[in-house]
Amino acid sequence: MKKTFYVTTAIDYVNAEPHIGHAYQKIVADALSRWHKLIGEDVFFVTGTDEHGKKVADSAEKIGKKPKEFVDNVSKKFKEAWKSLNIDYDRFIRTTDEDHKKTVIEFIKKCEKSGDIYKGTYEGYYCVGCEAYYTEKDAPNLQCQIHNKPLEKLKEESYFFKLSKYQKFLLDLYKKHPEFILPKEIRNEVINRVKKELKDLSITRTSFDWGIPFPLEKNHIVYVWFDALINYYTATRQKGKEKYWPANIHLLGKDNTWFHAVYWPAMLKSAGLELPITTFNHGFLTFNGKKISKSLGNAISIQTLVNKYGADTVRYFSLRQFPFANGDDGDFSESALINRNNSELADKLGNLVSRVSALAERYGLEKTKTNNLEINSTYKEVSNHLKNYELDKALNEIFAFIDKCNEYIQNKKPWETKDKTVLYELSNAIKDISILLFPFIPETSEKISKVFNFKISLYELEKPLKIIKIKKSPILFQKIK
């Protein structure tokens, strides 16, 4: 049996349309998914939309629509956005899906059986934008630090999950399995906070009705975060998908850390289920130093960017510009995107493919026993970087090899020597480059594979390129002024 790899993204809240801030995480997940498929693993990649909660109900009411009609429309726009970016997921899950509702109800009953659910009264502060509860310690000015809006004070009857019971379990988990929370800086923050205090979690609401009915009492609905986290498990409940649980990695923004690193493992333990291996908490894309967000008025449309620059340029920039592995924020800059498109994609990769294919069309190819452009060490470095989620460094290695190829063609001058063996070495190297680039810029890799007649497969790295009649490649990346 193949080794399985299950990768998930956070499911996006549908109170507003998708923007480039949402896309960053999906592009990373897609690159990881494609890489693990490339190396022969059995991959399951899940993304989707989070469709319950007060924020969604309020957003629907503002434009005079019923919540279900509203979420159907916005969820469709997320699917369209991911299609435009060539995001090749295996399941797009919606928390309004019937199988998810059923799984949530079963999950709650398992937690109740463990003695972890009780009835009480919730009184405290709440941010509708985050759909999250805050203490006065978390928000000293009683204002949400993300949305810059005052918190609402709530008091209502609620069912609670005994989160406090799992304090020792969680601290032991973080100690024995440090890979459960990455990067380590985020892990240390979580450990310090869990050590101080862990309050029980309010898991139902009664002030509105847009949510999954709580199975233990009719007039309660399930708190949106308790519902949403379970989506990762729901996706593996379908026939034939059970083998993928537990997840290898949950990708999430650092504003979702507490829910995934504290609530989620405690919930799974209560329900008697295995825990995911890693929750990776990445930084935000920012614009002028602020998190990109519809509510902050600085959202950048995905469709606009793709129409203007192309999917692969947007993908490449997002993966190359921002060091994902360290969890830092990255400031989005159109001028930086244009610079990378022109200097790296067009001048380095595009120019190499154009020159070699044009010369190969003119003079032909001839196999050689020597290989001055060996890809093996580059492949090993790329593989190691991707194990550590260092996607920017992986791309840096590939482009260092592209630089080597460009230097080689300049030194050998096949346009003067008409040396068919040099052109063969370069063509073979382009094959290898394209295979390694496939997880990052799949559309471009597929275009190159058609010019040089090879399949996108790791096995092709070990095979010499077949000699065929080459025709000059169309321009891969236009220079942007």
d(CA 99, CA 212): 12
Closest by Cα among 123, 265, 246 to 190: 265
CATH H superfamily, domain 334-462 = Isoleucyl-tRNA Synthetase; Domain 1 (1.10.730.10)
Query: Which are the catalytic amino acids?
Result: 19, 22, 127, 130, 144, 147, 291, 294
Would strands 204-205 and 42-50 be described as parallel, antiparallel, or unpaired? unpaired
Do 149 and 127 contact (CB within 8 A), yes or no?
yes
CA–CA gap between residue 60 and residue 450 (Å, rounded) = 47
Where in the chain are the domains? 4-309, 334-462
What pTM does this model have? 0.93
CA atoms of 265 and 252, how far apart (whole Å): 15
What is the sign of the dihedral through the CA atoms of 180, 186, 192 and 193? negative
- The three-point CA angle 195-196-200 to 5° equals 90
User: What pLDDT tens digit does each residue of the chain (481 aa) get?
Assistant: 799 999 999 999 998 788 888 899 999 999 999 999 999 999 999 999 999 998 899 889 999 999 999 999 999 999 999 999 999 999 999 999 999 999 999 999 999 999 999 999 987 777 766 766 676 666 667 777 666 778 877 788 999 999 999 999 999 999 999 999 999 999 999 999 999 989 999 999 998 899 999 999 999 999 999 999 999 999 999 999 999 999 999 999 999 999 999 999 999 999 999 999 999 999 988 776 666 666 656 667 898 899 999 999 999 999 999 999 999 888 888 899 999 999 999 999 999 999 999 999 999 999 988 899 999 999 999 999 999 999 999 999 999 999 999 999 999 999 999 999 999 999 999 999 999 999 999 999 999 999 999 999 999 998 999 998 999 999 999 999 8
Residue 477: closest CA among 429, 443, 437, 439: 443
Q: What are the distances in angstroms from CA 100 to CA 20, 93, 106, 175, 188?
A: 27, 8, 10, 32, 33
Q: Does domain 4-309 have CATH number 3.40.50.620?
A: yes
3-state secondary structure 284-310: CEEECCEECCCCCCCCCEHHHHHHHHC
DSSP 132: E
Q: What angle do CA 88, 392, 357 make, to 5 degrees?
A: 75
- The arrangement of strands across the sheet holding 330-331 comes to 290-291, 285-287, 330-331
